[in-house]
Amino acid sequence: MVRTKLQQRGPALALAVGLLAVPGVPTVVNSWLPERDWQTAESTDAMTLTSVEGTAVAIVAPDGWQVQNLGDQAILRGDGGAVFVQLYDLDGRDPGAVAARLMRSNRVVDVHTTLDGGRIATADGSLTGDTCVALTDHATGSCAYLSDGDVMLSVIVLGGTRESTPAIADVVAPFTRKQS
Protein backbone atom coordinates (compact mmCIF):
# COMPACT_ATOMS: atom_id res chain seq x y z
CA MET A 1 0.00 0.00 0.00
CA VAL A 2 1.36 3.36 -1.01
CA ARG A 3 0.84 6.25 1.35
CA THR A 4 0.36 9.69 -0.09
CA LYS A 5 0.94 12.93 1.65
CA LEU A 6 -2.14 15.09 2.33
CA GLN A 7 -1.98 18.00 -0.08
CA GLN A 8 -4.86 20.10 1.37
CA ARG A 9 -4.07 20.19 5.09
CA GLY A 10 -4.14 23.99 5.38
CA PRO A 11 -7.54 24.53 3.73
CA ALA A 12 -9.00 21.52 5.59
CA LEU A 13 -7.78 22.88 8.92
CA ALA A 14 -9.16 26.36 8.12
CA LEU A 15 -12.53 24.83 7.18
CA ALA A 16 -12.65 22.80 10.40
CA VAL A 17 -11.82 25.84 12.56
CA GLY A 18 -14.43 27.92 10.71
CA LEU A 19 -17.13 25.29 11.19
CA LEU A 20 -16.38 25.13 14.90
CA ALA A 21 -16.18 28.91 15.37
CA VAL A 22 -19.34 30.00 13.48
CA PRO A 23 -21.86 28.74 16.10
CA GLY A 24 -19.97 30.63 18.81
CA VAL A 25 -20.20 34.03 17.09
CA PRO A 26 -23.78 34.84 18.23
CA THR A 27 -22.90 33.86 21.80
CA VAL A 28 -19.89 36.18 21.84
CA VAL A 29 -21.83 39.07 20.27
CA ASN A 30 -24.74 38.56 22.71
CA SER A 31 -22.34 38.81 25.66
CA TRP A 32 -21.31 42.28 24.46
CA LEU A 33 -24.89 43.57 24.31
CA PRO A 34 -26.41 45.21 27.39
CA GLU A 35 -29.05 43.32 29.38
CA ARG A 36 -32.61 44.46 28.63
CA ASP A 37 -34.02 46.52 31.47
CA TRP A 38 -37.11 45.39 33.34
CA GLN A 39 -39.20 48.18 34.79
CA THR A 40 -41.63 47.86 37.68
CA ALA A 41 -45.19 48.75 36.72
CA GLU A 42 -47.93 50.55 38.58
CA SER A 43 -51.58 50.23 37.59
CA THR A 44 -51.55 53.88 36.51
CA ASP A 45 -48.70 53.25 34.05
CA ALA A 46 -49.72 52.42 30.50
CA MET A 47 -47.30 51.15 27.88
CA THR A 48 -48.01 51.86 24.24
CA LEU A 49 -47.44 49.16 21.66
CA THR A 50 -47.27 50.42 18.08
CA SER A 51 -47.79 48.28 15.00
CA VAL A 52 -45.76 48.58 11.80
CA GLU A 53 -48.45 50.80 10.26
CA GLY A 54 -48.58 53.05 13.35
CA THR A 55 -51.68 51.73 15.12
CA ALA A 56 -51.30 52.02 18.89
CA VAL A 57 -52.67 49.96 21.77
CA ALA A 58 -52.19 50.94 25.42
CA ILE A 59 -51.62 48.08 27.84
CA VAL A 60 -51.49 48.17 31.62
CA ALA A 61 -49.63 45.70 33.83
CA PRO A 62 -50.73 44.67 37.34
CA ASP A 63 -49.14 46.63 40.20
CA GLY A 64 -45.62 45.51 41.04
CA TRP A 65 -45.13 43.40 37.93
CA GLN A 66 -42.01 43.85 35.84
CA VAL A 67 -42.43 44.91 32.21
CA GLN A 68 -40.44 45.18 29.01
CA ASN A 69 -41.82 47.23 26.14
CA LEU A 70 -40.32 45.97 22.87
CA GLY A 71 -42.23 48.30 20.52
CA ASP A 72 -44.87 46.03 19.00
CA GLN A 73 -44.59 43.47 21.82
CA ALA A 74 -44.48 43.51 25.60
CA ILE A 75 -43.51 41.01 28.26
CA LEU A 76 -44.99 41.26 31.74
CA ARG A 77 -43.90 39.05 34.63
CA GLY A 78 -44.67 38.76 38.32
CA ASP A 79 -46.22 36.56 41.02
CA GLY A 80 -44.94 33.45 39.23
CA GLY A 81 -46.81 34.30 36.02
CA ALA A 82 -45.94 35.86 32.70
CA VAL A 83 -47.92 37.65 29.99
CA PHE A 84 -46.77 37.93 26.38
CA VAL A 85 -48.50 40.55 24.21
CA GLN A 86 -47.91 41.02 20.48
CA LEU A 87 -49.53 43.52 18.11
CA TYR A 88 -50.00 42.84 14.38
CA ASP A 89 -51.55 44.80 11.50
CA LEU A 90 -54.34 42.88 9.78
CA ASP A 91 -53.87 44.57 6.38
CA GLY A 92 -57.39 43.57 5.34
CA ARG A 93 -56.94 39.92 6.36
CA ASP A 94 -59.60 37.96 8.23
CA PRO A 95 -58.96 38.08 12.02
CA GLY A 96 -59.84 34.38 12.37
CA ALA A 97 -57.32 33.40 9.72
CA VAL A 98 -54.62 35.55 11.35
CA ALA A 99 -55.37 33.99 14.76
CA ALA A 100 -55.06 30.50 13.22
CA ARG A 101 -51.71 31.45 11.67
CA LEU A 102 -50.46 32.83 15.01
CA MET A 103 -51.48 29.61 16.76
CA ARG A 104 -49.42 27.62 14.24
CA SER A 105 -46.40 29.93 14.62
CA ASN A 106 -46.62 29.66 18.43
CA ARG A 107 -46.24 25.89 18.14
CA VAL A 108 -42.80 26.41 16.59
CA VAL A 109 -41.65 28.00 19.87
CA ASP A 110 -43.39 25.25 21.90
CA VAL A 111 -46.44 27.27 22.97
CA HIS A 112 -49.49 25.20 22.08
CA THR A 113 -52.75 27.13 21.92
CA THR A 114 -56.26 26.05 20.98
CA LEU A 115 -59.50 28.02 20.91
CA ASP A 116 -61.88 27.14 23.75
CA GLY A 117 -65.05 28.73 22.35
CA GLY A 118 -65.04 31.74 24.68
CA ARG A 119 -65.35 35.40 23.74
CA ILE A 120 -63.54 38.31 25.40
CA ALA A 121 -63.35 42.10 25.14
CA THR A 122 -61.44 44.97 26.67
CA ALA A 123 -63.36 47.01 29.27
CA ASP A 124 -63.99 49.82 26.77
CA GLY A 125 -65.00 47.37 24.03
CA SER A 126 -62.37 48.67 21.60
CA LEU A 127 -60.92 45.17 21.07
CA THR A 128 -62.88 41.91 21.02
CA GLY A 129 -62.00 38.34 20.18
CA ASP A 130 -61.71 34.69 21.07
CA THR A 131 -60.21 33.05 24.12
CA CYS A 132 -58.01 29.98 24.08
CA VAL A 133 -56.01 27.64 26.26
CA ALA A 134 -52.19 27.79 26.26
CA LEU A 135 -49.79 25.02 27.19
CA THR A 136 -46.00 24.65 27.24
CA ASP A 137 -43.74 21.98 28.72
CA HIS A 138 -43.45 23.96 31.98
CA ALA A 139 -46.52 26.18 32.23
CA THR A 140 -50.21 26.37 31.51
CA GLY A 141 -52.55 29.28 31.07
CA SER A 142 -54.96 31.03 28.80
CA CYS A 143 -54.75 33.27 25.79
CA ALA A 144 -56.80 35.55 23.59
CA TYR A 145 -56.73 36.89 20.06
CA LEU A 146 -58.36 40.34 20.05
CA SER A 147 -59.09 42.54 17.06
CA ASP A 148 -60.84 45.72 15.99
CA GLY A 149 -60.64 45.03 12.25
CA ASP A 150 -57.35 46.94 11.84
CA VAL A 151 -55.03 45.16 14.26
CA MET A 152 -54.71 41.77 15.97
CA LEU A 153 -53.54 41.59 19.58
CA SER A 154 -52.19 38.22 20.74
CA VAL A 155 -52.17 37.81 24.53
CA ILE A 156 -50.73 34.67 26.16
CA VAL A 157 -50.90 34.31 29.95
CA LEU A 158 -48.78 31.53 31.51
CA GLY A 159 -48.03 30.41 35.03
CA GLY A 160 -46.58 27.44 36.86
CA THR A 161 -49.72 26.98 38.98
CA ARG A 162 -53.36 28.05 38.84
CA GLU A 163 -52.67 30.65 41.57
CA SER A 164 -49.78 32.22 39.64
CA THR A 165 -51.71 32.55 36.39
CA PRO A 166 -53.79 35.74 36.17
CA ALA A 167 -57.22 35.48 34.57
CA ILE A 168 -57.17 36.48 30.90
CA ALA A 169 -60.21 38.75 31.40
CA ASP A 170 -58.38 40.69 34.13
CA VAL A 171 -55.29 41.04 31.94
CA VAL A 172 -57.01 42.39 28.81
CA ALA A 173 -59.69 44.53 30.53
CA PRO A 174 -57.50 47.65 30.88
CA PHE A 175 -56.10 47.45 27.31
CA THR A 176 -57.27 50.23 25.01
CA ARG A 177 -57.02 50.77 21.25
CA LYS A 178 -55.69 54.29 20.79
CA GLN A 179 -57.17 56.34 17.99
CA SER A 180 -54.62 57.65 15.47
Binning pLDDT at 50, 70 and 90, where does residue 19 land? confident
Element (H or E) spanning 65, and its range? none
CA distance 161 to 155: 18
Residue 137: how many CB atoms within 10 A of its CB?
7
Question: Does 172 score more than 90 pLDDT?
Answer: yes
Question: Does 6 score more than 70 pLDDT?
Answer: no
Helical ranges in 60-178 per DSSP H? 95-108, 168-172
Question: Does 94 score more than 70 pLDDT?
Answer: yes
Q: Would you kindly state where each structural domain of the chain is located, as residue ranges?
A: 39-178
Question: Does 3 score more than 70 pLDDT?
Answer: no
Residue 18 is predicted with a pLDDT of 75
| Class for the domain spanning 39-178 | alpha beta
Report yes or no: 38 and 67 within 8 Å, Cβ to Cβ. Answer: yes
Contacts from 37-45 at CB under 8 Å and sequence distance 24+?
37/68, 38/66, 38/67, 38/68, 38/77, 39/66, 39/67, 39/68, 40/64, 40/65, 40/66, 40/67, 41/65, 41/66, 41/67, 41/76, 43/174
Report the percentage of the chain scoring pLDDT > 70. 87
CA distance 136 to 159: 10
Tens digits of per-residue pLDDT, 29-55? 666 666 667 777 775 678 899 999 999
Question: Does 28 score more than 90 pLDDT?
Answer: no
Question: How open is the CA angle 133-82-67, to the nearest 5 degrees?
Answer: 140
Report the percentage of the chain scoring pLDDT > 90. 54
Q: Which amino acid is at 74?
A: A
Residue 154 is predicted with a pLDDT of 96
Q: Sign of dihedral through CA atoms 27, 28, 29, 34?
A: positive
Residue 112 is predicted with a pLDDT of 94
Q: Which amino acid is at 5?
A: K
